[in-house]
Amino acid sequence: MVKKVFLILGGIFFSLGLALSIAAIATHIGTTAVRARGMRDAVPVSAMVVDVRVIEGDSRVRVYVEYEVDGETIISSFRRRDSFIFERQLVDIYVSAHNPRNIVSGDSFVWVTVLVLSIIGGVFTILGAGFLIARSRMVKRHRWLLDFGIPVWANVLGADENWNIVVNGQPAMVLLASYGNMQFVSGAVSNNDLAFVGEHVKVFYDPDNFSRYTFDLKNESARMPFEDPKPLEQHQ
């Protein structure tokens, strides 16, 4: 169950992170291309935002700015898709050298959008990769123990709640079992794998490190609830 949760979370986070990173790259490339076409006769000007108005039915806002060119104070406007602009904010814009009232590019803050998308995308991608790597290690360790570990029938002592994994508001359950002086705690198990006190479950442990073990709950012979456990043949 834990491996499935890690796989789902890893896939979701990694996919979202990749999508956001691609969006950041596309935004940067698109903005750079648009700006390059209109910047041939543009000059940079420092302006102050005097008003920001939401355009009804549009995802953009209209930004009104005040700036000075050749001693003349000009108020003009441009439209933007992001909302990281507020009144009295200083912004760098580009105006036409032939007509200063014409704002060629007011996207000086598009880098904020690119930066935010890149950061969130990077974090999500790293989280997703972490979950997927952790799951891969769990799977490899489980397979190694199934192939080379020593199998024993462990006596089920009971079950406990694991609030680190919550499904539909309910904690996942873990099995507590023992064999001789060794005690084992399973990963989160589903209701179908939940055993009761007195039953026996198959556990494989590392002969060189008793703290490394895995429960085998997927095979038909994984549990023997109605008879005393028979000795298991150890791997050669």
Which DSSP state fits 231?
Answer: P
Is residue 184's pLDDT more than 60? yes
Structure confidence by residue, pLDDT tens digits, 195-205:
677 788 888 98
Structure confidence by residue, pLDDT tens digits, 147-161:
888 888 888 888 777
Give residue 27's pLDDT band: very low, low, confident or very high (50, 70, 90). low
- The DSSP code sequence of 123-183 is HHHHHHHHHHHHHHHHHHHHHHHHHHSEEEEEEEEEEEEEEEEEETTEEEEEEEEEETTEE
Mean pLDDT, rounded, for 9-28 = 74
Across the chain, what does the average pLDDT equal?
Answer: 75
Mean pLDDT, rounded, for 195-216 = 84
Beta bridge partners of 171: 166
Is residue 37's pLDDT more than 70? no
At 46, is the secondary structure helix, strand, or coil?
strand
Tokens of 214: 């895995």
At 234, is the secondary structure helix, strand, or coil?
coil
Structure confidence by residue, pLDDT tens digits, 61-78:
888 999 998 888 999 988
Is residue 236's pLDDT more than 50? no
